[in-house]
Amino acid sequence: MRQIDHFILGETPPATRKHQVWNPSTGEVQAEVALGDAALLARAVESAKRVQPQWAVTNPQRRARVMFAFKALVEAEMQSLAELLSSEHGKTIADAKGDIQRGLEVIEYACGIPQIMKGEYTHGAGPGIDVYSWRQPLGVGAGITPFNFPAMIPMWMFGMACAAGNAFILKPSERDPSVPVRLAELFLKAGAPEGLLQVVHGDKEMVDAIIDHPDIPAISFVGSSDIAHYIYARGSALGKRVQAFGGAKNHGIVMPDADMDQVVSDLVGAAYGSAGERCMALPVVVPVGAETAERLKELLIPAIHALRIGVSSDPDAHYGPVVTPEHKARIEQWITTAEQEGAEIVIDGRGFTLQGHEKGFFVGPTLIDRVTPQMKSYQEEIFGPVLQIVRAADFEEALRLPSQHQYGNGVAIFTRNGHAAREFAARVNVGMVGINVPIPVPVAYHSFGGWKRSGFGDIDQYGVEGMRFWTKSKKITQRWPDGGGDGSNAFVIPTMG
């Protein structure tokens, strides 16, 4: 069986604990990953501390060249990386390539670090006084990343952190750990100093070790909201800089004037793509008015039935299996909960099996109508191929639903009315808004982050916000007195000789 080890500087001690890595398409265990502890983390941090100071004083153009080289290496291995990612996660090859590409977009942005890190300067702030600022790296940063984007989110984190002059410790999900290790190998090959980017595997024991380590001043996390809150609270109490992004329950508001054919196409892709295992998926649709709801439902049913579920390597599959048997059981339990709460199961994905892959972790596409805000299945994140319909009588009710939900990651409105769209975008209590865009993930030169229980901390991911998170600002006020130090006021330019 394949063994997946840590990627740290120096010899790795034998693993005393391991975690199984599944092939979701076949339902078989394909590998084991070593789980580390606080002692292993300490070794990685010591290595990072040794290499980081020299990297920090490497001029930004040279750091940018490493980012450029890394981008080229990842692009050259796109197919093999996507296949490896799909084999452990279950998403289709096309989705896996999208995962990698969205990470590379942040790497592309990080290639501009010489421009991004430029400070400010004021000449003559006072009599003979100038004021300016620098952005300086923090030291050794850490990232704790989820299973659903094993390439994109690590690159979001270490791309900005390392470009800014930091060393980085990455703890990826133990469910699909191979691609993060391969990315670290390619980063080293691109010219990064050995020990600058290291990968440690682990569970809660490793997470706690990262939070508690005194030489890790900044932590970035993406995962569930309960864990995000835990990491934010514990890390902040220790004086660390923490950004922690949690769950989501993104809504799609459908106004009566929307282009319904486009809405259906967008909803099917946003709700069921990657088996719904995306924090920016669109699992709730809110049609405004009874007529809109009935029209939308009538169009959704055949579109959902037309979806093809297949193994991750099937080029014609719209989506593949979910990541583990436990997650499959959890999704199906949420469908049962919705049914018990009185919702209407229009299309039922429970018990779905794929011929020839009966042991795979497949969940059929599910459509649930007559969902209300009081239902637990609406309040919590399902994170699977399940679309819920929550009917709203008017615009104000549709606006209240995402605004009052515990999560505030993303939301979309579908309409031809510019005033309605503008009003919605201004008033909705959610961090990322799409107008006729179902998955409003901002481009790499903006920033990513939700509100409420979707995001803890004041600074978002990537873009200028990412640079600010991984650096600290130093402000310098300077005055150069006239004369040569003899008490005279004569203006003398020193000369050689």
All structural domains of the chain with their residue ranges: 2-246+462-477, 251-435
Using pLDDT thresholds of 50, 70 and 90, give the confidence band for residue 490. Answer: low
User: Looking at the predicted structure, is the pLDDT value of residue 492 above 80?
Assistant: no
pLDDT, average across residues 397-424: 98
- The confidence score (pLDDT) of residue 11 equals 84
- The confidence score (pLDDT) of residue 121 equals 95
Q: CATH topology of 2-246+462-477 equal to that of 251-435?
A: no
User: Looking at the predicted structure, is the pLDDT value of residue 485 above 70?
Assistant: no
- The confidence score (pLDDT) of residue 488 equals 57
pLDDT, average across residues 200-225: 98
pLDDT, average across residues 350-354: 96
Known catalytic membership, residue 279: yes
- The confidence score (pLDDT) of residue 15 equals 87
- The confidence score (pLDDT) of residue 483 equals 63
User: Looking at the predicted structure, is the pLDDT value of residue 309 above 70?
Assistant: yes
pLDDT, tens only, 10-23: 888 888 899 999 99
- The confidence score (pLDDT) of residue 486 equals 60
Using pLDDT thresholds of 50, 70 and 90, give the confidence band for residue 79. Answer: very high
User: Looking at the predicted structure, is the pLDDT value of residue 495 above 90?
Assistant: no
pLDDT, tens only, 90-121: 999 999 999 999 999 999 999 999 999 999 99
- The confidence score (pLDDT) of residue 298 equals 98
- The confidence score (pLDDT) of residue 438 equals 96
- The confidence score (pLDDT) of residue 484 equals 55
Q: What is the 3-state secondary structure (H, E, C) of the chain?
A: CEEECCECCCCCCCCCEEEEEEECCCCEEEEEEEECCHHHHHHHHHHHHHHHHHHHCCCHHHHHHHHHHHHHHHHHCHHHHHHHHHHHHCCCHHHHHHHHHHHHHHHHHHCCHHHHCCCCEEEEEECCEEEEEEEEECCEEEEECCCCCCCHHHHHHHHHHHHCCCEEEEECCCCCCHHHHHHHHHHHHCCCCCCCEEECCCCHHHHHHHHHCCCCCEEEEECCHHHHHHHHHHHHHCCCEEEEECCCCCEEEECCCCCHHHHHHHHHHHHHHHHHCCCCCCCEEEEECHHHHHHHHHHHHHHHHCCCECCCCCCCCCECCCCCHHHHHHHHHHHHHHHHCCCEEEECCCCCCECCECCCCCCCCEEEECCCCCCHHHHCCCCCCEEEECCECCHHHHHHHHHHCCEECEEEEECCCHHHHHHHHHHCCCCEEEECCCCCCCCCCCCECCEECCEECCCCECHHHHHHHCEEEEEEEEECCCCCCCCCCCCCCCCCC
Choice among 279, 368, 401, 459 that is catalytic = 279
User: Which of 1.20.120.530, 3.40.605.10, 3.40.50.1820, 3.30.830.10 would CATH assign to domain 2-246+462-477?
Assistant: 3.40.605.10
- The confidence score (pLDDT) of residue 12 equals 85
- The confidence score (pLDDT) of residue 183 equals 98
pLDDT, tens only, 374-406: 999 999 999 999 999 999 999 999 999 999 999
Domain 251-435 -> CATH class: alpha beta
Using pLDDT thresholds of 50, 70 and 90, give the confidence band for residue 284. Answer: very high
Mean pLDDT of the chain: 96
